[in-house]
Copies of this chain bind each other. A is one copy, B any other.
Amino acid sequence: MERFIEYILQFGNLNQQQIDLVSSKATVLALGKDDYYWEAGKMVRRIGFLTAGVLRVYYYTNKGEENTRYFIDENHLILDGPAFEGNYVPSEYLQAMTDCELVIFSKKNWNEISETIVDWDSIVHKITAKHHREKLERRSNLVSQDATTRYLDFIEKFPTLINRIPLSYIASYLGITQSSLSRIRKNIR
């Protein structure tokens, strides 16, 4: 929980009373490896902050292929949609790659925080804006570079993920096949 508070404080100030309020609204959720935090088509009514573990976000193309959109690691807030768009029905799957621990807010509790703490929405908007910029940037850089460069960039940006995520998912994120990625790793050594 402290980690979540610390995280929030990077984007705005809260006094002790406000911190206590936020804390009182949170619960903890543990996910085992391969569990889903959410699934396409199911309503989402909560906001989560990942304190331990790695999640991957994937979807199915119209050809039925699984496609990894991005990974989420420790100390990231997961609030796509729900905070702004009422109840949110995702088209993506969000699956635990390792055992995970999250701090969770029900939509109801989240709204209560938002109504009580004047700055809350503005803090949250700063965070979403940052997230979106980062995601778009990463994705943009993936196109237009060869696979080796993309892999090296990935290592650089997510050094802690490489050993925790199966090769096939990284390949899927980079948009190449698993065997190609394996060969690329061989060449790099």
Contacts and interface: CB of A to CB of B under 8 A. Distances in A.
Interface residues of A, number: 29
A56 to B, nearest CB: 13
A143 B141 contact: no
B85 A144 contact: no
A174 interface: yes
Contacts of A121: 121
Given A80-B133, A84-B122, A121-B121, 20 more contacts: A61-B141, A65-B144, A67-B140, A67-B141, A67-B144, A69-B136, A81-B133, A84-B129, A85-B126, A128-B132, A135-B136, A136-B139, A139-B140, A139-B142, A139-B143, A142-B143, A143-B175, A144-B172, A144-B175, A145-B175
